[in-house]
Structure 1
Amino acid sequence: MGDRIMIFYGSYRSARQGIRLAEWLVGAFAERGASAELIDAKALDLPMLDRMYKEYPKGEAPPALEALAEKIRAADAFVFVTGEYNWGVQPGLKNLTDHFLEEWFWRPAAIASYSAGRFAGSRAGLAWHGILSEMGMVVVSSTLAVGAIGHSIDAAGAPVGDGGSALTRAFPHFADDLGWWAQAARTQREHSAPPY
């Protein structure tokens, strides 16, 4: 059985371009034998954070939170697909992520950033590195950064042009890095219980 990889996407905008990258990643990981699932913050539509999942009495969390917590706990690795808003992170993705904490622990995460411009969401990617580390994930060093997102992945979801070519060249290394850490973390969890 391949790695169980959850791919999180957080834009709530009406003309979302980054969803193409998120959906392409699901397919690209599946071609490598992984079981990849897209979690779209807009489709899930969690409320603004009031209480974290862990703050509900056992069995009383809203069904969407309960189901997502179970999926997160069962995953081997995570990919966060993030656009950049004013040098920062997308609020939809941040809100979804903040509903959980211990559920993320002891698994690797990777960051795929994008933007309409030439910086490819790199500043948001940098911000997410610190956020995910603080939330107990091991953030792999490989990243994907797709600039001119509207011209790098077409409406059918295929990488095109120079940006698309760069994405397809970078993906194998990105996936190998995440896969190595997923296997290492899974093996260690089987060998010994996490310290907390």
Structure 2
Amino acid sequence: MSSRILVLYGSYRRDRMGIRLANFLVAQLAERGHDVELIDAQAVGLPILDRMYKEYPKGEAPEALETLAGKIVAADAFVFVTGEYNWGMQPGLKNLTDHFLEEWFWRPAAIASYSAGRLSGVRSGLVWHGTLSEMGMVVISSSLSVGPIAATLDASAQPTGDAGAALEKSFGRFAADLEWWTDAAKAQKAKVQPPY
């Protein structure tokens, strides 16, 4: 069953490498028949959080915030692509995420982490797991951890070498897990509206 999936990415760095993983995921999920859109925090350009979307009077939120809120509400699932900064999460992606709350509720989320080194951003993925759960999403058990990113995906987001082959092999389970939870959430929502 085709689903609407947002792939969210948050690096603001000049020579950002994680965009390779974000683009790979968009392409692979689209190939599986999904309606996929990349949400690049840098391109959206939200300011540092002052007021959440819900804190604006109806119709008065800045245009970028209003547009993104509509996309989040319309999505069936989310994939968060995160690098690791000093054992933590990227501030750009966290800032974008924190502008919303109820808009995220009752949908599954998947985490794909990366780094320039061998640890593949897994510590950031661990931090995101708790954050996304607190924000009302069901975080799937499968995750992708990619590192070193430059040895896994080339500049056009194509898998390369042994690391790229390992990514391709692990992607199938990751995608199938996300699809199962997405279909389950859609089926339940069709039967019973969420309790809040």
**Would you call these one fold, judging by a TM-score over 0.5?**
yes
The Cα of 1:76 is off from its aligned counterpart by 0.5
d(CA) in 2 for partners of 1:45, 1:63: 11
Q: Secondary structure of 1:84's partner?
A: strand
Q: Structure 1 length as normaliser, TM-score?
A: 0.99
The Cα of 1:161 is off from its aligned counterpart by 1.4
Q: Secondary structure of 2:116's partner?
A: coil
Please name the residue that 2:158 is paired with.
158
Please name the residue that 2:129 is paired with.
129
- AA aligned opposite 2:16: R
Return 5+ residue gaps in structure 1 as ranges. Answer: none
The Cα of 1:156 is off from its aligned counterpart by 1.9
- AA aligned opposite 1:44: V
Please name the residue that 1:56 is paired with.
56
Q: Structure 2 length as normaliser, TM-score?
A: 0.99
d(CA) in 1 for partners of 2:15, 2:133: 30
Query: More deviation in 30-39 or 160-169?
Result: 160-169
Q: Deviations for 1:31-89, whole angstroms, at most 9, x for unmatched residues? A: 00001100000011100000000000000000111111111011000000000000000
Please name the residue that 2:191 is paired with.
191
Please name the residue that 2:41 is paired with.
41
d(CA) in 2 for partners of 1:156, 1:176: 24
Regions of 4+ moved over 6 Å: none
- AA aligned opposite 1:87: W
The Cα of 1:181 is off from its aligned counterpart by 0.4
d(CA) in 2 for partners of 1:121, 1:28: 21
Please name the residue that 2:12 is paired with.
12
The yes-or-no answer on 1:120 pairing with 2:128 is: no
Please name the residue that 2:24 is paired with.
24
Alignment of structure 1 residues 85-124 onto 2, 5 Å = 85-124=85-124
d(CA) in 2 for partners of 1:16, 1:34: 26
d(CA) in 1 for partners of 2:178, 2:45: 27
RMSD: 0.7
d(CA) in 1 for partners of 2:71, 2:23: 18
Please name the residue that 1:145 is paired with.
145
- AA aligned opposite 1:130: G
The Cα of 1:150 is off from its aligned counterpart by 1.1
d(CA) in 2 for partners of 1:118, 1:98: 29
Please name the residue that 1:180 is paired with.
180
Please name the residue that 1:80 is paired with.
80
The Cα of 1:162 is off from its aligned counterpart by 1.9
d(CA) in 2 for partners of 1:128, 1:162: 27
The yes-or-no answer on 1:66 pairing with 2:66 is: yes
- AA aligned opposite 2:44: L
Q: How many percent of aligned residue pairs carry the same amino acid?
A: 69
